[in-house]
């Protein structure tokens, strides 16, 4: 089992990292991908990936941080070459949920990450919230360049998912699929091909039922895997095998 998106550099995970990793191993997790969200975050991620062989990391600036942290493609490429356990670019993308005042900075930052992904052939981890049209419009400009795309914590519409499938996109399910009021999202994951789905915690955020409201951690991914297996009408062991293979095919 692989947690394709967690934030081990966030509290309360960071200060309890040894126990967090051990509990992850106890439920059968073989890889953790800890995600960079800012320059400060990336400096921590570079250290965390060396704490244990199962931990890998990414380099990227979250859309909410794009106003403060500005990087260029050369910076991303350089750090990917220097750090063999940094295997993804992101999380990047667009988030217009709270306000649109930094829209241009988000768009520019997103494009920088895309260009780095194209130069390195390293998967791009995308965050998209209240920005389906804008996210699609940007990606559509690169449709012939064979980007490796992972839509993290996907909560978009089925229509959006259908359009993204044309780009050979992967979709990651978080604990949100376990919530009672997410029937539309569950139906979207029911529709998505098995060879295009991954699972994640986004910990310490979005703990799945029955731990909703608690601080999330990678070991809680077991509940998300069980729910996704139910949605796909397959055994959890098969779901785990498929999502693990999908992750390894995308990143390795």
Task: Give 100's contacts (C-beta < 8 A, 6+ positions apart).
Answer: none
The domain that contains 110 carries what CATH number?
Answer: 3.20.20.140
Domain that holds residue 102: 2-251
Q: Any idea what DSSP says for residue 68? A: T
Q: Which of 110, 99, 125, 106 is nearest to 198 (CA)?
A: 125
The separation between CA 242 and the C-alpha centre of its own chain, rounded to angstroms, equals 17
**Phi, psi angles (nearest 5°) of residue 43:** -60, -35
Cα–Cα distance for residue pair 239/95, rounded to 1 Å: 30
User: pLDDT at position 168, please?
Assistant: 86
pLDDT along the chain (252 residues), means of 10: 98 98 98 98 98 98 93 96 97 86 90 97 96 95 94 96 94 98 97 98 97 96 98 98 98 97
Number of structural domains the chain divides into: 1
User: pLDDT at position 98, please?
Assistant: 78
CB 219 within 8 A of CB 29: yes
**Phi, psi angles (nearest 5°) of residue 121:** 60, 30
């Amino acid at each position: 089992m692989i947690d394709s998106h967690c934030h081990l550099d966030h509290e309360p995970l960071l200060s309890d990292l040894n126990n967090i990793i051990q509990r992850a191993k106890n439920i059968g997790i073989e890889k953790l991908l800890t995600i960079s969200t800012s320059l400060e975050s990336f400096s921590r991620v570079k250290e965390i990936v060396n704490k244990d062989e199962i931990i890998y990391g990414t380099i990227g600036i979250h859309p909410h941080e794009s106003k403060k942290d500005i990087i260029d493609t050369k910076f991303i490429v350089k750090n990917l070459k220097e750090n063999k356990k940094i295997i993804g670019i992101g999380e990047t993308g667009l988030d217009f949920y709270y306000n649109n005042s930094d829209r241009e900075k988000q768009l520019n930052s997103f494009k920088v990450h895309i260009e780095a992904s194209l130069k390195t052939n390293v998967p791009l981890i995308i965050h998209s919230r209240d920005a389906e049209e804008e996210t699609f419009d940007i990606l559509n400009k690169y449709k012939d360049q064979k980007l490796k795309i992972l839509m993290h914590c996907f909560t978009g519409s089925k229509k959006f998912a259908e359009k993204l499938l044309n780009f050979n996109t992967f979709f990651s399910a978080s604990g949100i699929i376990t919530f009672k009021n997410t029937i539309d999202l569950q139906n979207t994951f029911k529709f998505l091909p098995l060879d295009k789905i991954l699972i994640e915690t986004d910990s310490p955020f979005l703990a799945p039922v029955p731990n909703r409201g608690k601080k999330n951690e990678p070991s809680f991914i077991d509940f998300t895997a069980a729910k996704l297996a139910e949605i796909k009408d397959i055994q959890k062991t098969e779901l785990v095998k498929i999502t693990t293979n999908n992750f390894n095919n995308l990143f390795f």
